[in-house]
A and B are shown apart, each in its own frame.
Chain A
Amino acid sequence: MAIFGLWVINKAGGLVYQRNFSDGLAQLSMNEYLVMAGTLHGIHAITSRLSPTGSSSGAQVIEAETFKMTILLTATGTKFVLLTSLSDPSAESLLQKVYEIYADATMKNPFHTPEMPIRSEKFDVRIGNLLGASSSGAV
């Protein structure tokens, strides 16, 4: 069980926070991450329209052969994406905690502009403590 990375995507599809925690996935340039966040934002919207039965949420978990992406969509449209190994059972609860930290360290920060990249040391440190500690690799 390993945590590979965390993305925070704002309601317009822009990547406002990205951090890697352990090796296992390719290290991409910031530009590639931005493109990927935008793509994921679009896919997420489409997946909710493809439901064969009634209305559906967007994609919640996306799985590949060796890793999965767990997506938490908040009521305000911000998306938290956690990239973990396939067997990780705690991804959803971790995302809830990430959301709490986001609310505390980012949204209550008077110097933070909503929808803009997160540049808060406190957020960084608390995320590091939460995810760096629970993943097998060091931060």
Chain B
Amino acid sequence: MTVHSLYIFDRHCNCVYYQDWHRTKPPKPAVEGGILPAVSRAVTPRAASSDGNTTSTFTSPRNTLNLSSGIVVAVNEEPQARNAIEPPAQPPSSTGLPFDEETKLVYGVILSLRNMVKKLTKRDEQFTNYRTSTYKMHLYETISGYKFVMLTDPRADSVRFILRQLYSGPFMDYVVRNPIVDMDSREHGIDNEYFRASVDRIIRGLSIFQ
């Protein structure tokens, strides 16, 4: 059993945070302007490196893994040095969608299912999770409209309490109470070093994480 990835969406439908753990099909980096800055270093559009060295630290899938597991600088302002040079070819294992497309699909699915559940019950009932043959997607929505979405192994039990724990723990401590993080800005994600490290610690401590 394992945990694949975590997405956080704000109430403006933007993905503000992303982190992955065991993911054999890493997402392609987003196209420029497709996602907000400071969501995740692993999927932001690659800036052309100034020394022309295309195999920079971000191009190796190995390093991407390391970077997405906690060793990341604080709220990252993407360098503006982008030019016409296309990002180098994707690592061969990356066959998925570009990250920005993927977040839109994830958000679309959870929103549609949420509305469908509300309509079917005529109450304020929440959609909690769905399962396919290879993964299970869980949703926890906060009162303030933040949506915590986690992809796990299909055999995992509900992880809503863990998502709630992420909200009341690291999210409160390092995002809500962090004066540097501009919440609800529609311009920035909420990625910062402490939040990422703290989320990582909680997820790695879970019994379903192996």
Contact = CB atoms under 8 A, between A and B. Distances in A.
Interface in B104-138: 105-106, 108-109, 112-113, 116-117, 119-122, 125-135, 137
Task: Classify chain B: how many residues form its interface, as a range.
Answer: 20 to 34
B97 interface: yes
Nearest to A64: B117
A60 B116 contact: no
B25 A53 contact: yes
B129 A28 contact: no
A56 B137 CA distance: 13
Interface string A76-98: 00000001000000000000000
A65 B127 CA distance: 7
B67 to A, nearest CB: 17
Given A56-B134, A65-B126, A32 B119 contact: yes
A139 interface: no
A49 B97 CA distance: 9
Interface stretch (A8-16, A38-46, A104-112, A119-127): A38-46
B109 A58 contact: no
A52 B128 contact: no
B28 to A, nearest CB: 13
Contact of B131 (A39, A48, A59): A59
Most chain B C-beta atoms within 10 Å of own C-beta, residue among A42, A47, A54: A47
B109 A62 contact: no
Interface of A: 25-26, 28, 32, 36, 39-40, 42-43, 46-67, 83
A-B CB proximity, top 3 nearest? A26-B122, A52-B4, A57-B133
Interface of B: 4-5, 20, 22-25, 97, 102, 105-106, 108-109, 112-113, 116-117, 119-122, 125-135, 137, 151
16 contacts: A26-B122, A39-B116, A46-B108, A47-B109, A50-B109, A52-B23, A52-B151, A54-B134, A60-B130, A60-B133, A62-B113, A62-B129, A63-B127, A64-B127, A65-B125, A65-B128
